[in-house]
Structure formats: structure tokens, C-alpha cells
Amino acid sequence: MVRLERRKNYISPLDRRLLPLYNSTFKGGHTAHVLLSLCATSESLDGAVKVATASAKVRAVCYLERILYILTDQYELAIVTYALQITSSPAQEAAFGRLHILRREEEGMVYWSREPVPSNKILYENQRPFLQPRLPMQQDAVAVEATSYAVLVYLARDGIGDLQERVVSWLNTMRMVDGGFVSIYDSIVAMEALTEYAYRARLRDITDMSVVVEASASPDATELMRINSDTLATVHRMDIPNVWGHVNVIGRGAGQAVLQLKVQYGIDWEDLRDTPKRRYFDLYVEETYSHFRNKSHITVDACVKWLAMDEAPVSGSTTLEVELPSGYRIVQSDADQVLIHKNYTFLRDVFDSEEKIVWTFDKVGPERLCFNYLIRRWFPVANGTMYRSAIVYESHSP
């Protein structure tokens, strides 16, 4: 696996961040990923496989040490530094020095990213600060993963300190309301980094706090939440029925906690629709109602096309989510039949839920990929849904 440096035709990995057009050296990130995997699994191996693994680890470390001084990408340097730290390489100090120089600082917090990631804006009204929502940025997932690898390096090297706390504070600002982060890979690495930080800071032993949440538009929705060692893993939630005004948060005690506010709404005006910083995909979805039995069947046609040809010839692993109309469903077995009996070789898998259906692709190229599926009405509804959502994104680099 370490021979990735010799392969020239590996042009569509699941994670497009490791493509040569999207990274500084291409091979450094791949080699560091493989080296970390070998380190994690080598103890469970034996015989000739263990000998080959040990040899591969030595050659991978030598390669990373050789290219260390030409790395300029923050993401790639972060994972390479962590790999050299794990293997106790003589070059780990040099790698750490370069990593420390490439850090970014924003509002007292520290992070690593290819591009600046602005922090949440603060709006002052009547001399009171109101924290505004965080807007999605193009490099969010890469920044979270790079910062997570960096904080793992700092924790292994120096333990708990002021800089580590500022890095963890930035990571928590990037957390989504469901507890995860932007994509799959960065969520895994960030959870590992935060768990290591919590263990070293002994947060379970010192956490004992009470948090009062008050909503100005819903006085009856005030709630007291107690967080201690017994409820540390419990997610405290409260609903605010009136979604205007502001929310006051009063915390007392010791420890660290993350509080998030989620506001969700639908729109039917094109000017208010969320738009990405750049269009990476072209998406077309059309629904055709049956003319019999009171529109009990709907045929959905969906087409996807890759647009960012200057960054990569094809996308990485891609996900398409299509919201289902009220009263209509498609069971998982019927969705699986679309993959089995129709010639849609570009589709990888499908997942069904009560609210939406999720299709996954191994990759999407510049040629339009189209498919269709049938949904059926299970329950009668008074009015048909006029507006629904459909979104396509790269699974590992949304």
C-alpha cells in the first residue's frame, strides 16, 4: 500500500482532497494515511504479514522525512506531522516547527486551514453582544480535519496548555447540532482529538455546572440544565416554540460545555435559497404524477453532473438527498431493486427514511448521470407539497 507513490492512474479516490490537482504533493497525504493505518493494525498481525508491515512502515517514514521540507499545504503537513509523531521519527521536531508556523489565529482561537475560516460574527444591540450563526465555508471539512491532527500532535508532545485550549475552542465552534462536524473523516478525527483532550484535562472529574437557558419570546420555555460527571454524556435539549427575539444563557460552576441553537425553516422564494460559494454540481430533479388513482404514483427523474473540472476531472464519493412529498414513501426493498434490476452502474447504494431518500455515487464526471425511481402514496393528504429540497454534495468534502 505504501507504493501509492508509483501509481499514476489513481484519479478518483473517495476523498478528492488527496488528488494531485487539489494538494501540494499528493503522495504525502496518502502515505501518512496508510502509515497511520499500519501503526494501528500492526500489533494484531503475525508471521510474514507482520514482517512486511514493519518494512512498509520504515519505508513510509523515510519517504515522509524526505518530502517534509517541500510540504506547503496545512492539511497535508498536519497529518504528516502526526504520522511522524506516532512513529517517533527523528524528524518529528522539524515537522512540529513547520506546523506551528503555519497556524492561523482568529478571535483568540487557533486553527489550521488552507484558507481563512471566519469566526461567528457578533452583533451589538443596545450594548449587548448577540452571537450570529456560523456560515458554511468552502474549506470547513479540511480545516476541521487538519486542526484535529494538529491538536493530537500538541497533546502528545506538550499535554494541556493555553494553545491547546484555544484550538479545542475553535473545533467546538465548528461542531454541528447533531454532535458531528462537517463530513465523515473530519468528524472521526475531531472526536478522537476532543476525547484525548477531555481525558488529559480530566474534564469528567472537574465538570459540575448548571446552565439556565431563557428565550425572550417564550418565557415558559426557560429550562435549567445540570451537567456533572453523571450526566456528562447526556445531550440536553429544549424546544423554543416562538422563533423570534433572543436567547439568554447563564452558566455557573466549573468545567466545559457546548451550547448550540438550531433554527430550521422552509422557503419558497428563490432569492432566499442557500447557495454555495461555488457550484460544483449541476442537479436536475423532475417529478411526473400518474394520471390514474388520484396521483398515487410519482416517477422521479434525477440527473447529476460534475462542474469543477479545473480542480479534478471527477468528483469523489457523492451523495444525493431528495426529500419525499407528504404522504408518499418508497420502501428500502423497492429502492434496492432500482440498483439491482436497472442498468445504473454509477449508483453505489441507497438509503430510505420517512422524510427523504439518499442515493450515493462512487464518482460523478462531466457527463450527465441520470436515473429514475417510483414512489407511492401511502397516506392521503389535503394539499400536495409545492416545494421540497434536493441536495447533492461530495460525501467526504461537503
Residues with Cβ within 8 Å of 242's Cβ and at least 6 positions away in sequence, in order, are 215, 217, 218
Would the pLDDT of 21 be above 60?
no
152: enclosing H helix or E strand? helix 140-158
Spatial CA neighbour of 73 closest among 150, 15, 13: 150
Q: How many helices (H) and strands (E) does the chain have?
A: 9, 15
Rounded to 10 degrees, what is the CA torsion of 213, 215, 216, 222? -70
pLDDT tens, residue by residue, 291-303: 776 778 899 999 9
pLDDT given at position 349: 92
Would the pLDDT of 17 be above 50?
yes
C-alpha cell belonging to residue 38? 499500519
The single-letter DSSP state of residue 386 is -
397: enclosing H helix or E strand? none
Collapsing DSSP to helix, strand or coil, 93 comes out as helix
pLDDT given at position 9: 45
56 neighbors 38 (Cβ within 8 angstroms): yes
CA dist 392 to 16, 53, 164, 365, Å? Answer: 15, 39, 35, 14
Left, alpha or beta for 272 (phi > 0: left; psi -120 to 50: alpha)?
Answer: alpha
CA dist 280 to 12, 78, 94, 118, 185, Å? Answer: 16, 26, 37, 22, 20
pLDDT tens, residue by residue, 150-197: 999 999 988 888 999 999 999 988 888 777 888 888 899 999 999 999
Would the pLDDT of 382 be above 70?
no
**Which one has a higher pLDDT value, 22 or 117?**
117
Residue 375 binned pLDDT confidence (cut-offs 50, 70, 90): very high
Please, what is the average pLDDT of the chain?
A: 85
Collapsing DSSP to helix, strand or coil, 100 comes out as helix
Would the pLDDT of 253 be above 70?
yes
**Which one has a higher pLDDT value, 284 or 256?**
284
347 neighbors 382 (Cβ within 8 angstroms): no
Would the pLDDT of 385 be above 70?
no
**Which one has a higher pLDDT value, 266 or 282?**
282
C-alpha cell belonging to residue 59? 519505508
Would the pLDDT of 15 be above 60?
no
Least confident of 46-55, 122-131, 315-324: 122-131
Collapsing DSSP to helix, strand or coil, 3 comes out as helix
pLDDT tens, residue by residue, 269-286: 777 777 777 888 999 999
Spatial CA neighbour of 222 closest among 214, 231, 211: 214
Strand partners, 226: 210
The single-letter DSSP state of residue 305 is E
pLDDT given at position 383: 65
Residue 10 binned pLDDT confidence (cut-offs 50, 70, 90): very low
Could you give all domains of the chain from N- to C-terminal order, each with its CATH number? 2-201 (1.50.10.20), 208-254 (no CATH), 270-394 (2.60.40.690)
pLDDT given at position 207: 87
397 neighbors 140 (Cβ within 8 angstroms): no
Cα-based angle 314, 318, 322 (whole degrees, multiple of 5):
135
Would the pLDDT of 254 be above 70?
yes
Would the pLDDT of 11 be above 80?
no
The single-letter DSSP state of residue 267 is -
Residue 211 φ then ψ, to 5°: -125, 125
pLDDT given at position 1: 40
Would the pLDDT of 27 be above 90?
no
pLDDT given at position 244: 82
For 172-227, give the DSSP string.
HHT--TTS--SSHHHHHHHHHHHHHHHHHHTHHHH-EEEEEEEETTEEEEEEEEEE
Would the pLDDT of 22 be above 60?
no
52 neighbors 94 (Cβ within 8 angstroms): no
pLDDT given at position 197: 92
**Which one has a higher pLDDT value, 263 or 2?**
263
User: Cα separation of 310 and 298, whole Å?
Assistant: 37
Would the pLDDT of 138 be above 90?
no
Rounded to 10 degrees, what is the CA torsion of 24, 29, 31, 36? 160
pLDDT tens, residue by residue, 63-90: 999 999 888 889 999 999 999 999 999 9
